């Protein structure tokens, strides 16, 4: 069974990596496109992924837990505790995205495109995770332990939860479309089909559709999409061996999210997922010609490193990042997913404004 | 009259013979084979129940028609440390559509540990038409037998369970009495790893429930649960099991108490000794997390571990 989980994770990771690379599915870049150039296409792609995922997750939930009102949560779905800690974690994550120029999943696929500086960001993420573990016990006692775990279908039923969230996504889409100013340069319609698939980036909504479907398949067969479980596990294992972390992380293993266990096997399903993601992005970038080794400047390295630390801390305390908590959380109808999205955006926007002003 | 038997009659006879053969292959009071279960899945008076420890196992594919029992909420009291109450257990069985005459087959992941725990709880409440799927979930999957993801709803059953029968459940006082007696008339089997038994470690890595003292109950013999199964997870033959435990001095002449850390793996050995070999066995579900934390009870610590000392 574990073998099957690893094989499936390799396939899903490869699919995710190729999709991220082909459609430039980078949460930060897509948001910046809108903030700077009023180009809403990227953010609409994210909304597409969320809508497809929401529908698929709710269909699966009906199988996994026919009655959502009985006080249980569907297995493994990323439904986390809602507290001020989550808000601060998401805010910090958003600032980290601006500083390092990408979220964690985008650093992973960029690594496949030859962005060496992403390694520095990922090292920062590992350190950030260590800081997250170190602060976890006090945050857990201060807020997380008493925090409600809000799952919308529990109170609204599956139809109510699905309709309400689709309406919310629709409302955001309307706002974005109103603000959208079509880019001056449209993709060349005379391109051959082959070029459209293998050379040119895919439209974000195509990537979004496919990522939404991939997320549903991943949840059905293995676990919700997430990219930080393995990073967190590496940080936890290193910190544990160096005796730098608390011996007991209170209550952490009781929450579903990007779980971070002390590593016992070299290749966990999430580890396989991450490796396949990077390799598939690399192959995809080679074919399309997007691969080039990008030099690292001192300033860039510093931003990547500092941003990585902030993202690591945020992803640990929020039990996931833009993929594990935002995408997989909102698809699952978790209030924690929505809260993460709102505060992550706020952190990104605020730090982007400050960055522009200075 | 020399009437030739029709081909249809021949087929009927053949299938009857085959099904009898299959039924005989599963002919034990304790176990059913995967083949037998597959052939009997559509019987209305048979209910298959999955008791797995890992959430998401049942949901991502289970034996068609099986019902999910979650051991950590359905089969135990979630506040006090105890098994599910009679009322809780009865309503659980009824909601699974179990009637007085329903045959139950239990199976689960991790070598049927929790399915065996389930079988023990069924036995405590006097539900006796209960068997384990030999080899559990792993064997079913390894043989490529079908799995379903659609949950099955059954109309409520009418079963009435008995009061808890404590003749198969040991409590601390009784265990301490055996541990203190010079010539105990009860055998104790510790089914944990040798390292836990010897007191070199308190518990396996990664578990939250620990004890203040390491070691084992005086007089207990150590037969790890894993010795009772073949490579494919099925129980060894009754003869092999009898020889295995006899070698450790457990021959069924004395009543037996089994224990582990929290009482669930020891249910597996309870099942082997009690249901397969027919010995008189109690499972001590308090196990080492109760015994090793109790004040003033005798402990054998072969490793000489000193608690808390450097």
Q: In the structure encoding, which two tokens stand for residue B223, read together? A: 């037969």
What are the pLDDT digits (tens) for B180-192? 999 899 999 999 9
pLDDT of amino acid A52: 98
What are the pLDDT digits (tens) for A192-213? 888 888 888 899 999 999 999 9
What are the pLDDT digits (tens) for B227-273? 999 999 999 999 999 999 999 999 999 999 999 999 999 999 999 99
Domain total of chain A = 1
pLDDT of amino acid A54: 98
> Is B256 in a helix, a strand, or coil?
strand
Interface of A with B in 65-124 (CB under 8 A): 65-66, 74-76
- Please say whether the beta carbons of A25 and A211 come within 8 A: yes
A188 confidence band (pLDDT: 50, 70, 90): low
The whole-number average pLDDT for the span A314-323 is 95
Catalytic site positions of B: 260
Range of the domain at A99: 2-357
Is a pLDDT exceeding 70 seen at residue A100?
A: yes
Interface test with B, best of A2, A73, A75, A158 (most B CBs within 10 A): A75
pLDDT of amino acid B153: 86
B297 confidence band (pLDDT: 50, 70, 90): very high
**Interface ipTM:** 0.81
Is a pLDDT exceeding 90 seen at residue B142?
A: yes
pLDDT of amino acid A185: 60
Q: Provide the terminal-to-terminal Cα distance of chain A, rounded to the nearest Å.
A: 54
Residue of A nearest to B148 (CA): A63
- Please say whether the beta carbons of B100 and B158 come within 8 A: yes
pLDDT of amino acid A26: 93
b/e A240-279 (16+ beta carbons within 10 angstroms → b): beeeebeeebeebeebbbbbbbebeeeebbbbbbbbbbbb
pLDDT of amino acid B25: 40
Q: CB-CB: which of A63, A76, A261 is closest to B150?
A: A63
User: Would you call A254 an interface residue with chain B, using a CB distance cutoff of 8 Å?
Assistant: no
A187 confidence band (pLDDT: 50, 70, 90): low
Say whether B206 and A1 touch across the interface (CB within 8 A): no
All structural domains of chain B, each given as residue ranges with its CATH number in brackets, are 26-164 (3.40.250.10), 167-291 (3.40.250.10)
What are the pLDDT digits (tens) for B47-83? 999 999 988 999 999 999 999 999 889 999 999 999 9
More confident residue, A3 or A222: A222
Q: In the structure encoding, which two tokens stand for residue B291, read together? A: 């015994």
Distance between CA atoms of B234 and A328, rounded to whole angstroms? 38
B6 confidence band (pLDDT: 50, 70, 90): low
């Amino acid at each position: 069974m574990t073998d099957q989980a690893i094989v499936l994770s390799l396939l899903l990771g490869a699919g995710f990596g190729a999709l991220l690379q082909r459609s430039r599915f980078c949460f930060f870049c897509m948001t910046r496109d809108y903030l700077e150039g009023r180009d809403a296409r990227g953010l609409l792609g994210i909304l597409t992924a969320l809508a497809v995922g929401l529908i698929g997750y709710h269909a699966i939930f009906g199988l996994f837990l026919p009655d959502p009102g009985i006080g249980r949560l569907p297995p493994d779905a990323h439904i986390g505790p809602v507290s001020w800690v989550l808000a601060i974690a998401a805010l910090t994550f958003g600032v980290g995205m601006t500083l390092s120029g990408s979220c964690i999943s985008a650093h992973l696929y960029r690594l496949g495109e030859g962005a060496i500086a992403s390694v520095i960001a990922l090292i920062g993420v590992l350190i950030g995770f260590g800081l997250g573990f170190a602060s976890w016990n006090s945050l857990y006692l201060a807020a997380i332990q008493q925090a409600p775990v809000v799952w919308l279908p529990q109170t609204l039923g599956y139809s109510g939860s699905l309709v309400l969230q689709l309406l919310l996504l629709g409302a955001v889409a309307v706002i974005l479309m109103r603000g959208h100013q079509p880019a001056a340069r449209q993709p060349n319609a005379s391109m051959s089909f082959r070029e459209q698939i293998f050379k040119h980036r895919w439209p974000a909504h195509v990537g979004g559709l496919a990522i939404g479907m991939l997320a549903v398949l991943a949840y059905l067969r293995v676990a919700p999409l997430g990219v930080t479980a393995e990073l967190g596990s590496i940080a936890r294992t290193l910190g544990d061996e160096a005796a730098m972390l608390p011996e007991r992380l209170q209550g952490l293993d009781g929450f579903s999210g990007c779980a971070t266990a002390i590593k016992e096997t070299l290749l966990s399903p999430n580890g396989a997922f991450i490796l396949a993601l990077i390799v598939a992005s690399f192959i995809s970038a080679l074919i399309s010609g997007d691969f080039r080794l990008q030099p690292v400047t001192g300033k860039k390295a510093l931003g990547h490193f500092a941003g990585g630390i902030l993202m690591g801390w945020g992803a640990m305390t929020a039990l996931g990042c833009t993929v594990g908590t935002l995408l997989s959380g909102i698809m699952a109808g978790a209030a924690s997913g929505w809260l993460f999205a709102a505060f992550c955006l706020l952190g990104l926007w605020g730090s982007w404004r400050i960055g522009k002003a200075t | 009259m020399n009437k030739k038997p029709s081909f249809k009659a021949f087929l009927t006879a053949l299938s009857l013979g085959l099904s009898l053969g299959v039924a005989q292959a599963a002919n034990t009071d304790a176990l059913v084979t995967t083949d037998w279960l597959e052939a009997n899945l559509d019987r209305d008076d048979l209910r298959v129940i999955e008791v797995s420890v890992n959430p998401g196992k049942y949901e991502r594919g289970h034996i068609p028609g099986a019902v999910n029992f979650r051991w950590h909420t359905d089969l135990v009291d979630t506040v006090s440390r105890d098994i599910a109450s009679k009322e809780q257990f009865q309503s659980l069985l009824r909601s699974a559509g179990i009637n007085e005459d329903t045959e139950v087959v239990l199976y689960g992941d991790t070598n049927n540990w929790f399915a065996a725990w389930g079988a023990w709880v069924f036995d405590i409440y006097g539900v006796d038409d209960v068997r384990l799927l030999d080899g559990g979930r792993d064997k079913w999957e390894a043989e490529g037998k079908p799995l379903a993801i659609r949950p099955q709803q059954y109309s409520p059953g009418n079963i009435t369970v008995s009061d808890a029968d404590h003749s198969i459940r040991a409590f601390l006082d009784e265990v301490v009495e055996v541990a203190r007696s010079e010539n105990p008339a009860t055998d104790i089997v510790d089914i944990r790893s040798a390292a836990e038994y010897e007191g070199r470690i308190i518990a396996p890595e990664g578990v939250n429930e620990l004890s203040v003292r390491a070691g084992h109950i005086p007089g207990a013999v150590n037969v790890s649960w894993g010795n009772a199964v073949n490579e494919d997870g099925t129980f060894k033959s009754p003869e092999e099991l009898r020889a295995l435990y006899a070698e450790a001095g457990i021959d069924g002449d004395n009543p037996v108490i089994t224990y582990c850390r929290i009482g669930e793996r020891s249910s597996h050995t309870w099942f082997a000794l009690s249901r397969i070999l027919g010995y008189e066995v109690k499972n001590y579900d308090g196990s080492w997390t109760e015994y090793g934390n109790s004040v003033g009870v005798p402990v054998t610590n072969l490793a000489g571990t000193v608690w808390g000392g450097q």
